[in-house]
A and B are shown apart, each in its own frame.
Chain A
Amino acid sequence: MSFILDYYNYWIVVFLMMAGFYIVISANNLVKKIVGLNIFQTSVFMLYISMGKVTGGTAPIVAEGVTQYSNPLPHVLILTAIVVGVATTAVGLALVVRIKRAYGTVEENEFDNKDDVI
C-alpha cells in the first residue's frame, strides 16, 4: 500500500505524458500535434513539480512559523520550461498557418502527397 502511495502520482503523470506523446506522433492534423506537444510538456512539468513537494510543506515563500518548505528549485526550472513551451507553440502554430496558406490543408497525409517526398 505504501508502495502505491509513494508512486501513484508518478504513474498517472507517466500516463499523461504518454497520452500527449501519442497525440504528437499519431495525429494527422498539425494543430492537434501541437496540442499533443503541449500536453506532453505540461505532464513533464508535473513530474518535476511532484518531486519538489514535501509532505506537510508549504509554498517556498518565507512565512512566520513555517519550517518546512517545498523545494523551490523545480519550480524555477519549470517556470523556465513553461516559457520555452509557449515559445515553441507560437512558432509551431505560425508554421501551421503558413502551411495552410501554402498547401490549403493542415492534414499531414494530404500535403505530403502534394510535393515529391523529401
Chain B
Amino acid sequence: MLEQHLAALPIILPLIAAPIALILGRSVLSWGFATLVSGLAFLLSWQLLSAALSEGVISYAVGGWAPPWGIELRVDAANAFVLLAVTAISTLVLVYSKHSIEKEVKATNHTLFYTAHLLCLAGLSGILITGDAFNLFVFLEISSLATYTLVSLASDRRCLTAAFRYLVMGTIGATFILIGVGLLYMKTGTLNMLDLAERIDLYDSSRTINTGLAFIMVGVSIKLALFPLHMWLPPAYTHAPSAVSAFLASTATKVAVYVMIRFIFTVFGIDHVFVDMGMGIILMVLAVVAIFKCSYMATVQSNVKTVLAYSSVAQIGYMILGLSLVSVSGLMASMIHIFNHALMKGALFMAVGAVFYRVGSVEIKDFAGLGRKMPLTMAAFTIAGLSIIGVPLTVGFVSKWYLVSAALEQDQWLVAAFVLVGSLFAVMYIGRVIEAAYFQKLPESRSSEDIKEVSWLMLVPMWVLVIANIYFGIDTSLTTEAANSASEWLFQTNNMLENKVMEGEVLEGHAIEEKAQEVSS
C-alpha cells in the first residue's frame, strides 16, 4: 500500500492535514499535528529518494487515468532530492516556530499559521512531484497563497506592504507561466510534461513555442527571484515572521529553481534552450550580476534579515550559474547548492529569529554583545555564516568547489573567478554581524534587560541544521550521490529525447523513458 502510493503521499498528506489542523483549533494541538505530519512527509520523502535512486523513475497516474489524459506524478532522483530538503526544513521550522511565533504572530492566528504552513508544504511538494504543466500552476498558486498569508502574519505593519508587493509580483509570475503553458498547449495539444517534450521537438523553431518558453522562463524567474526580478524578495523576507523567513528562504525559491531546471531539461531540451535560444549566456550574465549586485546590497544593509534576504538572491545566482553551464557537473553543482543553501539559510534565519525573540529587533547594532548573552545562538549563526562564506569543512565549501570545478571544466575561467570573488562579499556581510556580536559590548541601555539564551525548542532545530552544515560538509557522499544521479538522469532524459527526434521516430507514452532507464541501469 505504502509502496504503491509513495509518490502521491508527500502531497496528499499535508494537503489533508491542513484542514484538519484548522479544525483542531487549539494552537498547541495544531502545532503538534502539523509537526507530526511534516515529519511523516520527511520520512516518506526519504523513502522516495531511496526508491528513486534504486529504481530510476516512479510514475503515478492520479485517478487511474494514464497520462497524458490524466494527471501524472513523476518522481526521479532530482525532485526527490529537493523534496527531501523541503520536508526536512519544514519539519525543523515547525518545531522551531512553536516559540518563535509567540512574539511575532498574534495568538489568535497561531492555528491559521500552522494551517497555512501545511498548505504551503503541500503546494511545494505538489510543484516538485507533478508531471503535468497545468497541475504545476495549481500547486504553485496553493503555495503562493499560503506564502502571502504567512508573510503577512507578522506584527510589523511593513509586512503588509511586503506581502502585497509579493502578491502582485507572484501573481504576475504565475500568470506568465499560465500564458506560457497555454502557448505550449496550443501548439502541442498536451499538458503532460513528458508528452510536451516529445511534441515540442516536432516544431523545432516555432515562434509560438519560443514565446511560450520565454514566458515560462520569465514567470519562473519572478518566482525564484532571479535578478532583476527579485525586488519582492528582500522586503518579504525581512518583514515576515522569522520562522517563515527561515522556511521560505530555504525552500520556496529552491523549488522554483527546480521548476526552471525541469522545464529546461525535461520539457524544452537543452539544445533548444541553450543552443537555439541562447538562453545560457543570458542566464549566466544575470546570475553573475545577481551575485555581485545583491551581495553588495547585502553588505550595506543595517537589518540582518535584509542582509540575509539579499544574500539569498545572490545565492540563487550561484544556482542559476551552475545551471547555465550546461553540463552534468554544473547541474550537479546547482542541485547540491539547492540542498546546501537550504541548510545554511535555514540555520541563519533561525538564529536571527532567536535574536528577535529575545531582543525584539534585528538591526546589526542590536547584535552588540550577544556573543556572551546568547552563546549557542550566535555560535550557530557563526558556523552557518562561515558556511555561506564557503569555509572548508562546511557545506558552503562543497557547493563552491563543485561550482568552480564545473566552470573550469568548461574552460570558463572568468566565471570561476567571479564565483570566488563574489564570495568575498559574504565575508563582509557575515563578518559585520559576527564582529558586532563578539567584539562589541552590550550597550548600557540593554544591560538591564533580561537577554538570555532561547528555549531548547528553538535551539534544537537550529543546531540540527548547523550540525548538518558541518556533517554534509565533511561526508559529502549522500548529497553528491543524489545530486549526481539527479543531474545525470536529467541529462539522459534530455539526450534520449533529442536522439529520438533526430531519428525522426515518435514514441508513444513512456516508451522513451523506459529506454532512458535501460541506458542508465
Contacts and interface: CB of A to CB of B under 8 A. Distances in A.
A65 B145 CA distance: 45
Contact of A91 (B134, B149, B303): B149
- Per CB-CB distance, the 3 closest pairs between chain A and chain B, nearest first, are A102-B157, A95-B164, A84-B141
Interface string B153-185: 000011011011001100110110011001001
B371 interface: no
B179 A47 contact: yes
A40 B175 contact: yes
A4 interface: no
A115 B157 CA distance: 9
A114 B137 CA distance: 36
Contact of A98 (B160, B178, B234): B160
A60 B235 CA distance: 47
Interface in B273-306: 301, 303, 306
A17 B174 CA distance: 14
Nearest to B297: A118
A69 interface: no
B148 interface: yes
Interface string B178-202: 1100100110000100000000000
Given A77-B134, A102-B157, A44 B145 contact: no
Contacts of A40: 172, 175
A34 B137 CA distance: 20
A82 to B, nearest CB: 12
Interface in A101-118: 102-103, 111-112, 115, 118
Contacts of B161: 99, 103, 111-112, 115
Contacts of B235: 118
5 contacts: A24-B172, A80-B134, A81-B178, A84-B141, A95-B148
A96 B141 contact: no
Given A47-B182, A48-B182, A77-B134, A99 B164 contact: yes
B238 interface: yes
Interface of A: 17, 21, 24-25, 30, 33, 37, 40-41, 44, 47-48, 51, 73-74, 77, 80-81, 84, 87-88, 91-92, 95-96, 98-99, 102-103, 111-112, 115, 118
A118 B159 CA distance: 10
A48 B191 CA distance: 13
Given A40-B175, A84-B141, A118-B238, A95 B158 contact: no
Interface residues of B, number: 32
B245 interface: no
Nearest to A99: B160
Contact of B152 (A17, A80, A98): A98
Given A17-B179, A95-B152, 12 more contacts: A24-B168, A40-B172, A41-B178, A44-B175, A51-B186, A84-B137, A84-B138, A84-B174, A95-B167, A102-B157, A112-B161, A118-B238
A41 to B, nearest CB: 6
Contacts of B178: 41, 44, 81
A40 B168 CA distance: 12
B157 A103 contact: yes
A4 B152 CA distance: 47
A37 B171 contact: yes
Contacts of B306: 118
A37 B149 CA distance: 18
A85 B157 CA distance: 25
A7 to B, nearest CB: 11
Contacts of B186: 51
B389 to A, nearest CB: 23
Nearest to A95: B164
A96 B164 contact: yes
A32 to B, nearest CB: 11
B301 A80 contact: no
Nearest to A71: B189
A109 B239 CA distance: 19
B141 A92 contact: no
Contacts of B185: 48, 51, 74
A92 B167 contact: yes
Contacts of A41: 171, 175, 178
Contacts of A103: 157, 161
Nearest to B305: A118
Contacts of B158: 115
B167 to A, nearest CB: 5
Contacts of A84: 137-138, 141, 174
A80 B164 contact: no
A33 B148 contact: no
B157 A37 contact: no
Contacts of B234: 118
Contacts of A73: 191
Contact of A118 (B145, B152, B303): B303
Contacts of B163: 95
Contact of A21 (B157, B172, B174): B172
